[in-house]
Amino acid sequence: MHIASSPSSPTDWTTTQRWYADLLPDFNVFTVSVTNTGAQAGLLIACRNTYDDGTIDTLVGDQSWKTIEQDPPANFQSPLFNDLLNWVDVVDQGVYRTTPWDDAASASFDELALPPVLDFSSSSAQWIWDVNPGSEAADSRAFKYTFSVPQGRVAKYATVIIAADNQHYLYVNGLPANYGASFQDAQRVVVNLAGAPDPDMVLFAVEVLDEGGPGGVIFAAQVVFDDGSSETVESGGEWKTLSATTPVDFMNPSVKDNEWQNAVVVDTTVGSWTAVVPPI
Ligand SMILES: [Ca+2]
C-alpha cells in the first residue's frame, strides 16, 4: 500500500516526514523507493510499531535492509516480491549526524526538522461541557465536531489526544476509536481515515461519563493529508452538545447535530484539570 511521497526537491532530506500506516497481523514489509538527483544519496528511517496490548517496538534502517543496484523493479513493493535474487545488504552510511548530511562535530549542526508532536500545552484546546460545571449528579454528555476536509486534499489519518472528567468514549466517523478514564492522564490514539464513507468530512464524537461533580472534556487532533500537510482540530465553543443524557447512536454521521447547542468553554478552576499529559 502506498503511504506517502516526499516533495521532489534536492533539499528534501532536510525535512523529515512522519507517516502512519496500518499493519497486518503477522507479516509486514516496508519498502521505499528513493530517487537521487545527484551527489550523495541516503535514506534515514525509523518505524515505531504499536501493538494491541499497548507495547511498542522500533524498527530502524540498518544493515538488515536490502537493496538492489538498479532502478526499483516493477512491483518491488509487493509483500510477495522475491527479494532473494540480486538483492544485496545495504551499505551503512553511518548514524544520524553523519557527514555529508551534517556533522555532529560542527558548530553549525542542524537537527533535521520533524513535524510537531501534538500536545495540549502548544494547542488552543479548551475544557468544554454543556454548562459551566459545578456539582451536577452523575450523567453523560455527548459532544460532536465535524471537520471539513479542504478541497483537493485527502485525509489520511488523525492523531488525537483527549482527556475527560471522568470517562470518555471517542468515535471517529461513527466508529469506536478510544476509551479513557482519567482527567489527568490523556489518551493518544492514531485513527486511519483512509476509506472514510464521506471523504469530505471527519466526524469526531465523544461521550463523556461524569461520575458527579464537575464534568469536562479536552481534545486536540492533527488531521494529516495525502500531501503531508495537516490541520488541527481543538475542543472549544464551536463544538456541539446537548444538555441531556447522551442519545443512542449520537456518534453516527447520519445523526444531525444542527439543533444541538454550542459547548461551553468551562471555568477550569472548578476541576483539577491543570496537568493533563498525553503519552508521547
Ligand atoms: Ca466529575
State residue 226's pLDDT score.
84
pLDDT at 114: 78
pLDDT (0 to 100) of residue 118: 86
β-sheet bridge partners, residue 234: 220
Q: CATH number for 128-270: choose from 3.30.420.40, 2.60.120.260, 3.90.180.10, 3.40.50.720.
A: 2.60.120.260
Partners of 140 in beta bridges: 209
pLDDT at residue 55 in the model: 85
* Residue ranges of the chain assigned to CATH 2.60.120.260: 128-270
d(CA 145, ligand 1 centre) in Å: 22
Cell of 100: 555529508
**What pLDDT is recorded for position 228?**
77
pLDDT tens digit sequence for 19-40: 878 888 888 999 999 998 888 8
CA of 168 to the centre of ligand 1 (A): 11
Q: What is the pLDDT of residue 161?
A: 94
Q: Which residues neighbour ligand 1 (ion) by CB within 5 Å?
A: 165-166, 210, 213
First to last CA, the chain: 26
pLDDT, one tens digit per residue, over 60-110 is 999 999 999 999 999 999 999 998 888 999 999 988 888 888 777 777 777
What are the residue ranges in the chain where pLDDT is below 50? none
**Rounded to 5°, angle at Cα 272 from 268 and 274:** 65
Tell me what pLDDT residue 270 has: 60
Distance 18 CA to ligand 1 centre (A): 36
The three three-digit cell numbers of residue 95, written as one number: 548514524
Distance 216 CA to ligand 1 centre (A): 7
CB 250 within 8 A of CB 207: yes
Q: Is the torsion defined by CA of 4, 7, 8, 13 positive or negative?
A: negative
CA of 215 to the centre of ligand 1 (A): 4
Q: How far is the CA of 137 from the centre of ligand 1 (A)?
A: 9
Supply the pLDDT for residue 275: 62
Ligand 1 geometric centre to CA of 164 (Å) = 9
